[in-house]
Amino acid sequence: MRGPKPNKPYKGYPLFAHAGGVWAFKYKGKFYYFGPWSDPQGALKRFQEEMPYIYAGKTPPARIVDVATLLDRYLGGKNADWRAGEISESTYKEYMATTDVIAKHFGTDRQVETLTSDDFLALRQALARGTRKGVETLSLVTQKRRLTIARMVFAFANYEYDLKLKYKKPLEAPPKVQIRAAERERGVKLYEAKDIRKLVKRAEPEFKAMLLLGINCGFGPRDCATLPVSQVDLVKGWHTYWRPKTQVDRRCSLWPETVEAIKAVRGTELVFEGKEWNRWIISREFASLCEATKVKSEGFYSLRRTFETVAVMAPNVPQAIIDHIMGHSKHDMASIYRQKIYDSPLKLCSEFVRKWYLGTVSLK
């Protein structure tokens, strides 16, 4: 993250230090960005050149802009969105990761208006490259997210600087049929009950509780990292924590094993306060645990996939119950008219998955 905001260089300076690391001005509810904190005089010069046009409701004339300025201005707006709660921290970090690739690939001094279709095709390859050891090419799903962000950056450039960059075709997302084919080739991403039990047995106390929440409630890493103590009732054995990703309400009966694991580690505000947990740390911890136990890792998130797959086999449990536990967001008519989910089928579903986990029920 950036350092503390600088003070205005002198009294009467018309711009303010925006959280995104740029000098900004607000007019008629819209923010305008004029340059990085490190160059207040340059930002003032640009402000003086452009504001007469903005006051008159006109677009300022096109100007030569480099990649660094474009990315600073774009991230400035996204930083404001994050601080206002309009996007999540993880989403903002994805914006930063993608713009880092753009800056490294083109160089910060490159003039944006000189970028061609061939340049964007080369950028596409750069965005597909993995940065972690052993990962040469990112998954198509991750590539799709990065390409989407890159298109947003250059759409912003066209709008903000009145350019005509031809980026859409070179940076278009992989076709859905290609993504489905890659997923089919990758195979099923599930865990056997015996392997989950092996992971739970070997895990440290906090991570043990997370694993159990993953298979008991369909929790992902972000759910675990942000779980408030206030949303967990360990006396009655329920959680009512909405899904942070979608804000959709959820409720699930907690297994006795999950209750005991949470009791052993519960913090004061968040359930998990022993580390600075986030989804990346949880994912890395999970991979290390799988390596130590010789369980093939399909990622922590596949505990959620496993829950859904097992839960659909529960007798007399409709899909709506599973959706409520998972926090799926649906806009069909049944979801609109359904006013309440009762506890008895939720508990029935949870108990069936528990029996599978303990090895007393076989899906075969």
Instruction: Give me 165's structure tokens.
Output: 């960059």
Q: Tell me, what's the pLDDT at 28?
A: 86
- DSSP lists the bridge partners of residue 238 as 233, 253
Q: Tell me, what's the pLDDT at 182?
A: 66
Q: Tell me, what's the pLDDT at 155?
A: 94
Q: Tell me, what's the pLDDT at 57?
A: 81
Q: Which of 327, 284, 313, 301 is nearest to 191 (CA)?
A: 301
* Residue ranges in the chain whose pLDDT is less than 50: 1, 134
Q: Tell me: the pLDDT tens digits for 125-172?
A: 999 886 655 456 788 888 999 999 999 999 999 888 878 899 999 999
Q: Tell me, what's the pLDDT at 173?
A: 87
The answer to whether the CB of 146 falls within 8 A of the CB of 194 is no
Q: Tell me, what's the pLDDT at 331?
A: 64
Q: Is the dihedral of CA 86, 272, 302, 129 positive or negative?
A: positive
Instruction: Give me 19's structure tokens.
Output: 């959280």
Q: Tell me, what's the pLDDT at 1?
A: 41
- DSSP lists the bridge partners of residue 303 as none
C-alpha torsion 20→22→28→30, nearest 10: -40
The answer to whether the CB of 23 falls within 8 A of the CB of 34 is yes
Q: Tell me, what's the pLDDT at 336?
A: 60
